[in-house]
Amino acid sequence: MAYWGSCLCTAIRFKVDVFEQAVAHCHCRMCQKFHGAAFSTLAEVKLEHLTWLSGQNKLVAYQAKNKTIRQFCQVCGASVSFTSRYNRAVHTIEIPLPLIDKYDDNSPIPLPNAHIYCDSEAKWLNNIDQLPKYKGYRPTSDALDTNNSK
């Protein structure tokens, strides 16, 4: 099994041999703010199964008051990793799942199996599955309809 990933500008590239089973949508306020999204989707990896292929010197770290460490690309700002006290104790790191660019055909796709820190869930997230879906950007007429009424 093998998975390859990169940051937005591809300055940082990595390979994951195998993911752990802990894959979750995290709704904590720190993830919301760091990712600029309602939640982040993180997959846990043992450090021995992660290889930095390039750009490790482009990683910048931010340590929060709770001692979690978030790494991001100094070039494009993409979130690249998350580490908590737990991760450090068990020698793992969490990688945002959207960074995975490709994987071997025989590698199972890591699927989220939990929503965590749901007390902080964005209040506007409740109707996400009822929204219209488009292959690309929405038609201009829909973008102008701020009331969502037709």
Q: Which of 38, 39, 1 is nearest to 20 (CA)?
A: 1
Q: What is the pTM of this model?
A: 0.82
> Please, what are the domains in the chain?
3-144 (2.170.150.70)
Residue 58: the pLDDT is 97
Residue 130: the pLDDT is 77
Per-position b or e across 57-82, b if 16+ CB within 10 A of its CB: ebbeeeeeeeebbbbbbeeeebbbbb
Residue 146: the pLDDT is 55
Q: What is the mean pLDDT of each run of 10 residues along the chain (150 residues)?
A: 95 96 93 92 97 97 95 97 96 96 86 92 80 80 54
